[in-house]
Amino acid sequence: MRVAMIGWMVLALLLVGLSIGRASENARSGAGRKAPARDELGGVKGAPPSDKDEAVITAQVTSADHELDEGYFTLGDNATVVAKPGSDLYRFLARQRGHKIKMVLTETGGPELSKLVR
Protein backbone atom coordinates (compact mmCIF):
# COMPACT_ATOMS: atom_id res chain seq x y z
CA MET A 1 0.00 0.00 0.00
CA ARG A 2 2.82 2.39 0.88
CA VAL A 3 4.71 1.66 -2.38
CA ALA A 4 1.54 2.29 -4.42
CA MET A 5 1.00 5.66 -2.70
CA ILE A 6 4.60 6.72 -3.39
CA GLY A 7 4.18 5.64 -7.03
CA TRP A 8 1.04 7.74 -7.45
CA MET A 9 2.75 10.76 -5.84
CA VAL A 10 5.75 10.44 -8.18
CA LEU A 11 3.41 10.21 -11.19
CA ALA A 12 1.45 13.26 -10.02
CA LEU A 13 4.63 15.30 -9.52
CA LEU A 14 5.90 14.33 -12.99
CA LEU A 15 2.63 15.46 -14.57
CA VAL A 16 2.70 18.76 -12.68
CA GLY A 17 6.33 19.34 -13.70
CA LEU A 18 5.58 18.63 -17.36
CA SER A 19 2.58 20.97 -17.39
CA ILE A 20 4.60 23.80 -15.81
CA GLY A 21 7.39 23.33 -18.33
CA ARG A 22 4.96 23.36 -21.22
CA ALA A 23 3.17 26.48 -19.93
CA SER A 24 6.42 28.45 -19.61
CA GLU A 25 7.51 27.29 -23.09
CA ASN A 26 4.24 28.56 -24.58
CA ALA A 27 4.61 31.88 -22.79
CA ARG A 28 8.15 32.36 -24.17
CA SER A 29 7.19 31.46 -27.74
CA GLY A 30 4.03 33.57 -27.72
CA ALA A 31 1.79 30.64 -28.65
CA GLY A 32 -1.83 31.65 -28.95
CA ARG A 33 -1.08 35.33 -29.61
CA LYS A 34 -1.66 37.01 -32.96
CA ALA A 35 1.11 39.25 -34.28
CA PRO A 36 0.09 42.92 -34.61
CA ALA A 37 -0.37 44.42 -38.09
CA ARG A 38 2.67 46.35 -39.31
CA ASP A 39 2.82 49.48 -41.44
CA GLU A 40 5.21 50.05 -44.35
CA LEU A 41 7.98 51.25 -42.03
CA GLY A 42 7.80 48.21 -39.77
CA GLY A 43 5.95 49.93 -36.91
CA VAL A 44 2.73 48.65 -35.41
CA LYS A 45 -0.31 50.16 -37.18
CA GLY A 46 -2.17 52.61 -34.98
CA ALA A 47 0.58 52.58 -32.35
CA PRO A 48 2.32 55.72 -31.11
CA PRO A 49 5.66 56.49 -32.80
CA SER A 50 7.62 55.20 -29.78
CA ASP A 51 6.72 51.61 -30.79
CA LYS A 52 8.85 51.94 -33.93
CA ASP A 53 12.53 51.12 -33.93
CA GLU A 54 13.56 54.44 -32.45
CA ALA A 55 13.91 56.23 -29.14
CA VAL A 56 12.71 59.79 -28.57
CA ILE A 57 13.90 61.67 -25.50
CA THR A 58 12.55 65.12 -24.62
CA ALA A 59 14.37 66.43 -21.58
CA GLN A 60 16.28 69.30 -20.06
CA VAL A 61 20.06 69.19 -20.49
CA THR A 62 21.97 69.62 -17.23
CA SER A 63 25.63 69.37 -16.41
CA ALA A 64 27.74 70.61 -13.50
CA ASP A 65 30.92 72.50 -14.40
CA HIS A 66 33.21 69.57 -13.52
CA GLU A 67 30.96 67.20 -15.55
CA LEU A 68 31.01 69.59 -18.51
CA ASP A 69 34.83 69.48 -18.55
CA GLU A 70 34.69 65.70 -18.96
CA GLY A 71 31.75 65.68 -21.42
CA TYR A 72 29.00 64.30 -19.15
CA PHE A 73 25.47 65.61 -19.75
CA THR A 74 22.27 64.50 -18.04
CA LEU A 75 19.06 64.43 -20.07
CA GLY A 76 16.26 64.54 -17.50
CA ASP A 77 15.90 61.49 -15.26
CA ASN A 78 16.28 58.91 -18.03
CA ALA A 79 19.65 59.33 -19.70
CA THR A 80 23.23 60.45 -19.32
CA VAL A 81 25.24 61.20 -22.45
CA VAL A 82 29.02 61.26 -22.68
CA ALA A 83 30.35 63.36 -25.55
CA LYS A 84 33.97 63.77 -26.55
CA PRO A 85 35.03 67.33 -25.65
CA GLY A 86 35.40 69.40 -28.80
CA SER A 87 33.02 67.25 -30.89
CA ASP A 88 29.88 68.63 -32.56
CA LEU A 89 27.67 66.77 -30.08
CA TYR A 90 29.64 68.19 -27.15
CA ARG A 91 29.32 71.76 -28.45
CA PHE A 92 25.58 71.30 -29.08
CA LEU A 93 24.88 69.91 -25.60
CA ALA A 94 27.07 72.57 -23.96
CA ARG A 95 25.06 75.31 -25.74
CA GLN A 96 21.78 73.69 -24.66
CA ARG A 97 22.61 73.43 -20.94
CA GLY A 98 19.53 74.47 -18.99
CA HIS A 99 17.29 74.22 -22.07
CA LYS A 100 14.87 71.50 -23.08
CA ILE A 101 15.80 69.45 -26.17
CA LYS A 102 14.31 66.58 -28.17
CA MET A 103 16.70 63.80 -29.18
CA VAL A 104 15.71 61.07 -31.66
CA LEU A 105 17.82 57.92 -31.92
CA THR A 106 17.28 55.62 -34.91
CA GLU A 107 19.12 52.84 -36.67
CA THR A 108 21.20 53.90 -39.69
CA GLY A 109 19.63 51.29 -41.92
CA GLY A 110 22.27 48.71 -42.58
CA PRO A 111 25.82 47.53 -42.08
CA GLU A 112 28.56 49.97 -42.92
CA LEU A 113 32.24 49.39 -43.40
CA SER A 114 34.45 51.37 -41.09
CA LYS A 115 37.76 52.92 -42.09
CA LEU A 116 40.87 52.56 -39.99
CA VAL A 117 42.69 55.86 -39.64
CA ARG A 118 46.42 55.43 -39.27
Q: Give residue 84's pLDDT.
A: 94
For residue 53, give every residue at least 6 positions away whose Cβ sits within 8 Å of its Cβ, in sequence order, or none: 42, 43, 106, 107
For Cα atoms 110, 115, 117, give the angle at the middle one, nearest 5 degrees: 155
Phi, psi of 49 (to 5 degrees): -55, -25
d(CA 89, CA 87): 5
Neighbours of 73 (CB within 10 A): 22
What is the CB-side half-sphere exposure of residue 93 using CA atoms within 13 A?
A: 29
Average pLDDT per run of 10 along the chain, which is 118 residues long? 80 73 60 55 52 82 93 91 94 94 84 76
Q: Give residue 106's pLDDT.
A: 86
Q: Give residue 40's pLDDT.
A: 45
